[in-house]
Every structure is written in structure tokens, then in C-alpha cells.
A and B are shown apart, each in its own frame.
Chain A
Amino acid sequence: MLREELIKLSPIRVLEKSINGGLGKGNLGVFTARKGVGKTATLVHVAVDKLLRNNKVIHLSFSDNPRHIEIWYDHVFNEIAKAYNLENILDNQEQIIKNRLIINLNKKSTDPQEIESVIKKCMDGAKFYPAMFIVDGFSFYDRERDDFLFWKKFAEQHNAEIWFSATLHRHSLEFDDQGIPSPASNFKDLFSVIIMLEPKENHISLKLLKDHDNPQVDQLKLKLNPKTMLIANHRV
């Protein structure tokens, strides 16, 4: 299958349809779940889709092992290539690498000014201005509203979409009236899209909890395949 076809058939199109055409530039989105459920895999699949469409993506890492992220991208790409029998694999892989930049941020760094300064320096230095940021591993616990206001402003300034992952801790799991879990619920007004990953018997379901300002939230017909860790269509 050619790349163009793959893009058309990608389950990310299903996701976009359900959220008003996509996250949208200048907006924040979050995948939230307990540890180990599949947030990173989901984020990376969203990123790979963007990269295959020839857009630039910056992946912000807060881990000690940045090569770990490259492994995730390799894995997701290889699974996609296998699943869709993708042609011109070398070329497509090159495209992903060229369009993606990983920025390693210090885990201990919490100061938004510092984070912004490092990111901007890297972007200007590498002349790399992305359409999407992936922020994986930025803890939502012990955060002030200002921390996320910063990201919202950042997304608007750079005319980009920003997708987050938010780990839920078992001990402090609470849900608001929209079914949005804390701590994400504390900042929900700053997020345009909130999706929760819920482990089921043999798949992980993606549950749409917030869709921009839409009072009627669609049922996402998507799941995460636990074997391939790819987002896939799901017949409900």
C-alpha cells in the first residue's frame, strides 16, 4: 500500500472525525490513563500519522533515556508498515526521522520559563518549527493552573497542536460529573480534547471525555491493540 492510501485508512482519521476534524492548532489535548496502559504508544501513533503526512513534530521527553523514545517510534512505524503492507519503507522511515525532533528536558525542571527557553533555543538552533508537540511524561500532579496556561499560550504562539499524556494514580482517582478523572479535571477548561484509555478484557478502549466545546461527546469507535500497540478501529 502506498503512503497516501495508508493515511486515508488510518484510524487517526476516525479519531479526527470524532473530534471536530482534529485537535486544532493552538489547542491542547490529553490522553489519560493509569501507568502502563498505553498512553505513550497512542501519542506516538498520533505523531507518526502526522509525520507521514509530511508535518514536523517535536517530541518533548522528560525521561532519562531519550533513546527509548526512538525505539517507540521505530516500533509503531514497523507495526504500521506491517499492518498495511506499506511500500517504500526506507523512504517513509527517512521521512519520519527528518520530520521529527526529540528534545530532552531535565526531569527536575519545572519552571515554565526554563522549559520554554530550552525548547525555543532548540527550535531556533535546528530551524525546526513543528505543527505538533508531543509532551510525554509531564506530571499533572502538584501543578498550578499557570503551568498549563503556559502550554496553552505556547501552543497559540507557535500555531501548533500539543498532545499530552497524563498518568493517573490509583490512590487519588476521582471523576467529575463529565467522567473526567483528576488531576486532568482540574485543568479541563484549558484542554480541548480529553481521552481516557481504559483496559478491557482483550483490548484497551479509547473513551472521548471532552470534544472542544461540544456538549454532545461522540463515542469513539477506537481501541488500542495490546499486541501491536496500534490504535485500531473498534466495532462497538
Chain B
Amino acid sequence: MTTDFTKMRNIGISAHIDSGKTTLTERILFYTRKIHAIHEVRGKDGAGATMDSMELEKERGITIASASTNVTWKKHSINIIDTPGHVDFTVEVERALRVLDGAILVLCGTGGVQSQSITVDRQMERYKVPRIAFINKLDRMGADPEKVTEQLRDKLGHNAVMMQIPIGLEADFEGVVDLVTMKALYFDGDNGETIREEEIPENLKKYALEKRDLMLDNVSMLNDELAEAYLEDKVTDDLIYKSVREATINRQMTPVFMGAAFKNKGVQPVLDAVIKYLPDPSEVENKALDRDKDEAEVILEPDTSKPLVMLAFKLEDTRFGQLTYVRIYQGKIKKGDEITNTRTSDRVRVGRLIRMHASEMEDITEAGAGDIVALFGIDCATGDTFTQSGMNYVMTSMHVPEPVISLSLKPKDNKAAENMAKALNRFVKEDPTFRTFVDPETNESIIRGMGELHLDVYIERMRREYGVEIETGEPQVAYRESISVPAEFDYTHKKQTGGAGQYGRVVGRIEPLRDRDFDFENNVKGGNIPSEYISSCEKGFKACLDKGDLIGFPVVGVKVILNDGNSHAVDSSDTAFMHAAIGAFRQAYFKAKPVILEPVMRVAVETPSEFQGTVLGTINQRRGTIISLGEEKNFSVIEAEVPLKEMFGYSTVLRSATQGKAEFTMEFSKYAKVPESIAEELKKEYSGKDKRN
């Protein structure tokens, strides 16, 4: 176990779909001797890239679950977390960013800054992660690294600075020029494993000098020492490295590198850049909250001699049991140690300790601050903090986007239902943005997630891994009924046809009630309704609220005021007055002009400003009301209220309307009246159903 933090890096590789980051990671594994052969992501030799462990991922050619791996490069220990690039799997990227110290932002040399690059970059901003950029696929037609660097500046607001220039492009792409050493780099050997340094080709010398000057200009604005040296023409390589490192860690600049990972060109310099420019664990401030001190912030020290504080950031169910990935922020853990889960207060023993390599495991005996490892046999949830020595710390909770889409599930039979429950239990533990519950009103199983693809994958996993066949549909909207004006009642319940009779009369009114579902006020005087029957009256009225007469949905917002009544010495009873109350409610209900209410959601959309008009259109088309608009950098923030019924399928609509660049969240806001036309439709539907029953 290394305690020299300067030789540790925890990085992620984030990017848009198909920008080639999995290929890049594969090359990294190869060059750092973690794998012995290169398999293409969707290769002809039948084997997928090592990092894509799941069959499903291989089939779709996408990476679903984040995998972590440890590599060694020039005596540095680097933990790399490969992260998926789909909007639907944002939680994976978010989770990885929470525990990493730096990142490589991979961009396509032809596509440039694409939809997910924007989302991913905002996520990196949220977690203040320093990054370097790698412009990939320079061997493709139309590759233009200068244009992509411009886009980094314009679209993402980065101070992007090219640290290399390409030698040739497209089919002529041969290598890169390092603007610090001012040497040309070529990648020889079957897999580009041998780097050959040469003089810069004559035709590129002028351009290289120009770009170097630009780079120095830029960096010296951020570093006085370099600025002085630049003026005096005394710039050294080391001084540049030092200045760029400082500026990158402070997120004042993004150094840009380039290559073609598929063609084995440009990868090793990126590894060098990770070491040179991205922070080690001791250079990043990490804080926890001390529950014993009213959640006061505590700065954690990456010191193996201090008490343990570590965060469980990923769970994986394997055939050996649950595998928990952890980031150790302070202290160290050894096999056999006892640690405490500060959320549940459970004490657990550290069993098997693993260093992960994609889908292969390496057993280790201990791990310390700054490291990312995995544990077996620890039952916990994502986001749980573990400590030792009685410390009651929690790491700040991870930002988990709220699920925005839901589907109802109907298993084909009882066996399927059983397996479905097992599957859902597992998925919920692994993924905090995947939620499931049984709707108490409709008895349907509902699943919620980040997008249609997100839920699709789980449904397919249920089918493949648990053999569950299910039907899916739209969940039903939970309507409500209410009244809009006061209405009187005067109702007598009478059954006096021989034998024990029933008699009860209630007089009063119902009126609309705000802020509460139900209220009951008793103003009966002189014992006209004996006091022992008052609670039965209330029960009777309450019973009517379960199912309104309009469309059979629960009634809310009603106040009942009981003013008077009559009773019979023999025939009055609890039952009689309950029936009287029920009758009274029914009598008054339609006089009170009942209305149908629907759930209205508070929707917040963040979109690049260019799409603001389009997004507003999508909201207006959904009977939405715009509440507020705002501008932040080049992003518009729109808050609106939209009926839940209109929000089904919105994630797909929004994605198409904004090229995937917009995000939205949705939460319940209130109940509001449905428009007349919808009310009529619902009433017709209900009376049709009623007649059939």
C-alpha cells in the first residue's frame, strides 16, 4: 500500500456516447500492462472490450455499469473509473464524480462538443472536478481539433488550451507535436506501444511555434512566475508543467490533448498528462459532516494514521455476494477490521478486500486514504459512510437526480411476480435513481427512472436475469374530487316497516375546505342528535370521501358542519345515523358543484438558451403554466407547472427537442381543477364503467 499521495491518482473518463472513451480505456489498460491483447469495443474477433463486463452492454455496444480499474504508469498508481455517456444513466456519472479527484473529458474530433458533453461537463462543474480534455478520432474524416477546442471555449466556457498539435489529420494522421518539449511524437509497434521522438516536421514548425506562444500566453496570464520567465525568455519545461498543473487543479484552464485511440496514437501522452496535471488525493479538499456537532463541516485529512472515513459509492451484486466499492478519504482499512456504518450504526467486519480490475479481482490485505477499493460481504446502501473509533461522520450526500419517468408493470403470473420482486429489490439497492413502489390506489407495481432507456434496460434485465415476463403500461393518474361551493343538507334515514327500525335525521351543510382533506364541526344543540351518535355521523361523512360520485376517486377538501337533527327514542342507533350522514352527503354533493382535480407537477427545465423557445413550446403544448424564467451563463432555467398526465413521455420529447442538451426535474406540486373537456371525458368514462358494473 502506497502512502505517497503524490504518486496516486483517482480519475474518471467522461464523455458523450461513441466518442471512443471505452477504446481509450482499453488502450490505457494495454499500455499499463493490465491486459495483454487489445479487443475492439465491437470487435470482429468476437470478444468485447475488457471494460464492458455485462453481456447486455456488449450487445448494445454501450457501457452501462461503471467499472473501476487500477493501473500503474511511471510508478504512479491510477484508479480509473469508466463512466457511461447516456443521459439516462446520469447517476453513474454523478456517483463516479463524487469520489474522483480529476477527469479526462473525451471529445470526438469530428462531432466536437456533443449533447452529453454538456451534461457531463455540468456535472463535473457541480463537483468541482479538474479535467484535461482528449480530442479523439483524429483519424476520421472531418476531424478538426482546433474547432473542437474552440467549442470547449464557446459551448462549455472552458479556458481550453491546446498542449499539442496534430501531425496530419484524417487518413494522414501520424502523431502529435508536444508544445512543451517541442518534439514530434510517433507511435510505433503493432499497437503503438513504442513512442519515437523526432524533430518537428519542417512544414509544421511555424504553426507549432504559434501555438506554443498561444499556450504560453494563456498560461502565463494565470501564473506570475511563468509570466516573468516568458518575458525574459527563460521558460523551462518544468516551469510550464508546474504552471499548467496549478491552473488545471484550480480549474482555471483545461489542457487539451489529442489522438486516435483506435489507431493507437496519442494515448500515452494522456497518461503522462494525468500524472502531470491532475491532482493527487492530498490536493483535493474533502469534507464530511459531524453528526455529533450538529452536522458541522469537518475537513478530512488523507492521512493513514487518522481514524477511518470512507464512502460506499457503488454496489454490485455478484455471485459471491454484494461487492461494495469504497473511496477511502482518511485512515486505512485492513482485513478483519471492524468498521461502523454511520447511517445505520451497524458494525461490520472487513472480510475480503479487493482491488478491482474491470471484471477481475485482486485480493489485498489493506488499503489507505486516497485509494479506491472494494469490499465483499458488507450490507449497505450507496452513499453510506463508514468510520472507526466512534466517529459519527457522514459524507455530504451525493446529488442524485430525481427520477422523471414511470411505468406500471404487470407480471404474467405469480411466479413472475415473485421473481419481479426479487429483481426490483436488487436494482433499487444498486441504483438510487431507480425506484419502485406499489400504488395503493390501483395496486399496480410502478417503476421510476431517468429515462425510457434506463427503464428498458431494467425490464430487459428482469427478463434475462430473472426470467420475468411482464407487460408495461402507463400508470394511472391519481385524480381527486372536491366541492366548490357550500351546499345544505337535510336528510332523514328511515326504515320503519315492522321489526327493529332505523331512524336518524341530520341537518347542516358541506363547504369547501382549503389546506386539509376533511374537517367536521358539530353545532348540534339541545341534544337533538344525542351526543353518542355524533361520532357515527362523522364516520358516515368520512366514509363518503373514499369514492366520490363524480368519477369514483377520493374526495378532498370538504368541511362538514352539523347544525341540527332528529332522533327516535327506539329506532335511532349508530348505524342509523351513519346511513343518515351518507345520505346527507350524497344529497348535498352535486349541489356543492363538485369538481375533478388532477395532480400538477412542478417541472424545472435547464436548457441551453438557444432552445428556450422550443422548450417553452413543449410546456405550453402540455397545458403547462410558465412560472419563472432565468438565465445562467448560456443556460435558461424554466420553472413551470404541468399536469402529471401531460408529462408522460416528456423526457423523450425534451431530449429530441434539444438534442439531448436539456435536463429536467419534476416533483409533485398540488392538485388543480381539470379543464371542462377532460372532466366531461372522465365523467363519461366513469358512468360507462358504472353501467357495465
Interface set of A (CB-CB < 8 Å, partner B):
61, 66, 69-70, 87-91, 94, 97-98, 101-106, 118, 121-122, 124-128
Contacts and interface: CB of A to CB of B under 8 A. Distances in A.
Contact of B672 (A66, A90, A101, A121): A90
A101 B484 contact: no
A102 B629 contact: yes
A125 B625 contact: no
B641 A104 contact: no
B627 A70 contact: yes
A105 B484 CA distance: 38
Contacts of A69: 628
Given A104-B628, A104-B631, A125-B612, 16 more contacts: A61-B628, A66-B639, A70-B627, A89-B512, A90-B672, A90-B673, A97-B625, A97-B627, A101-B628, A101-B629, A103-B628, A103-B629, A118-B631, A125-B616, A126-B616, A128-B626
Contacts of B620: 127
B514 interface: yes
A17 B377 CA distance: 78
A122 B620 CA distance: 14
A195 B22 CA distance: 66
B688 interface: no
B628 A124 contact: no
B673 A94 contact: yes
Nearest to B514: A89
14 contacts: A69-B628, A70-B627, A97-B627, A97-B641, A102-B628, A104-B637, A105-B631, A106-B632, A118-B631, A121-B609, A121-B612, A122-B612, A124-B613, A128-B626
A88 B609 CA distance: 38
Contacts of B625: 97-98
Contacts of A61: 628
A126 B627 contact: no
Contacts of A70: 627-628
B308 to A, nearest CB: 38
A142 to B, nearest CB: 23
B484 A90 contact: yes
Contact of A66 (B626, B630, B641): B630
A125 B613 contact: yes
A66 B627 CA distance: 10
B399 to A, nearest CB: 19
A206 B675 CA distance: 41
Interface in B590-644: 609, 612-613, 616, 620, 625-632, 637, 639, 641
Contacts of A87: 485
A171 B269 CA distance: 61
Contacts, number: 55
A66 B672 CA distance: 22
Nearest to A114: B631
Given A121-B612, A124-B613, A125-B612, A94 B672 contact: yes
**Most chain A beta carbons < 10 A, residue from B620, B627, B629, B639:** B629
B673 A126 contact: no
A175 B609 CA distance: 44
A90 B596 CA distance: 12
Contacts of A121: 609, 612
Contact of A126 (B485, B629, B641): B629
Nearest to A106: B631
B626 A101 contact: yes
A88 B484 CA distance: 7
A91 B627 contact: no
Interface string B331-365: 00000000000000000000000000000000000
Contact of B629 (A94, A97, A104): A104
B235 to A, nearest CB: 36
Contacts of B630: 66, 103-105
Contacts of B637: 104
Given A124-B613, A126-B616, A102 B627 contact: yes
A127 B620 CA distance: 10
A69 B630 CA distance: 14
B673 to A, nearest CB: 6
Nearest to B609: A121
A91 B484 CA distance: 10
B516 to A, nearest CB: 14
A231 to B, nearest CB: 23
A66 B612 contact: no
A106 B629 CA distance: 11
A108 to B, nearest CB: 11
A5 B236 CA distance: 81
A94 B674 CA distance: 11
B668 to A, nearest CB: 16
A70 B514 CA distance: 18
Contacts of A122: 612, 629
Contacts of A94: 672-673
7 closest A-B pairs by beta carbon, nearest first, are A104-B630, A102-B628, A122-B629, A125-B613, A125-B616, A125-B612, A126-B626
Interface in B115-130: none
A125 B625 CA distance: 13
Contact of A125 (B514, B629, B639, B673): B629
Interface in B401-438: none
Interface string B232-246: 000000000000000
Nearest to B633: A106
Interface string B159-184: 00000000000000000000000000
Contacts of B484: 88, 90
B318 to A, nearest CB: 44
Contact of B673 (A91, A102, A127): A91
A42 B309 CA distance: 52
Nearest to A66: B628
A101 B628 CA distance: 6
A80 to B, nearest CB: 14
B623 to A, nearest CB: 11
A94 to B, nearest CB: 7
Centre residue among B512, B626, B632, B672 by max chain A CB count within 10 A:
B626
Nearest to A99: B625
Contacts of B639: 66
Nearest to B637: A104
B226 to A, nearest CB: 30
Contacts of A126: 616, 626, 629
A125 B636 CA distance: 11
A148 B629 CA distance: 23
A66 B629 CA distance: 9
Nearest to A100: B627
A104 B627 CA distance: 11
